[in-house]
Amino acid sequence: MDVLQIEGAGQIFRILPKPNRGLTPMPISEKEAGFKLCKIVGKRNIEGGKIQINLHDGRSLILPSQGPRQKTEGEFAPGGAMQLGLPKQNMMGVVPFQTGALGLVIDGRNQGIFGKITTITAGTHARPKIVKIETATEAFDTPAEYVIPVGTQASLIGLGEK
């Protein structure tokens, strides 16, 4: 999901997983280079009523206090994705991890495949949470930790073709 710009050449790329090829640079527009998606991997309350959000790339964001006893509900739930503006690192939006969202598989044998999340099956102590993803040609199950939501109605990033 990182954005790579080559100075002098005028080329901008987003690094994305592709099936059977690992991480691959995909050309993107100047507009799309203004943000990146980060998967939310943790959320906790900290001193002063603030909320700390942990992202998959190692970043931690501290959100301002919401007031006493106010909940943010599932807005920043782990598994969702946060759209961060570049280069200021400001929050532009959140894509929830839910049924009906578009998901991109970022690890495992289905890496690089994207489609609609049709079901989310709760995990147990011994078995991980499982997500069913449907593409135009197939449907498969994969662990939820391997999926990042990339949009609700349409993808926020250019994913190219499978």
Per the structure, the complete domain to which residue 147 belongs is given by 102-151
Q: Is 117 helix (H, G, I), strand (E, B) or coil?
A: strand
Q: Is residue 140 part of a domain?
A: yes
| Total of domains in the chain | 2
The pLDDT of residue 72 is 54
Q: Is 85 helix (H, G, I), strand (E, B) or coil?
A: strand
| Same domain assignment for residues 65 and 106 | no
Q: Is 113 helix (H, G, I), strand (E, B) or coil?
A: coil
Q: Is residue 54 part of a domain?
A: yes
- Residue 159 sits at φ, ψ, to 5 deg, of -105, -5
Per-residue confidence of the chain (162 residues) as pLDDT tens digits?
A: 899 988 888 899 999 999 988 899 999 998 999 999 999 999 998 888 888 999 999 999 998 876 665 555 568 899 999 999 988 888 999 999 999 999 999 999 999 999 999 999 999 999 999 999 999 999 999 999 999 999 998 999 988 764
| Same domain assignment for residues 76 and 115 | no
**8 A C-beta contact, residue 100 and residue 146:** no
pTM of the model: 0.86
The pLDDT of residue 67 is 62
Output the CA torsion sign for 102, 126, 40, 14. Answer: negative
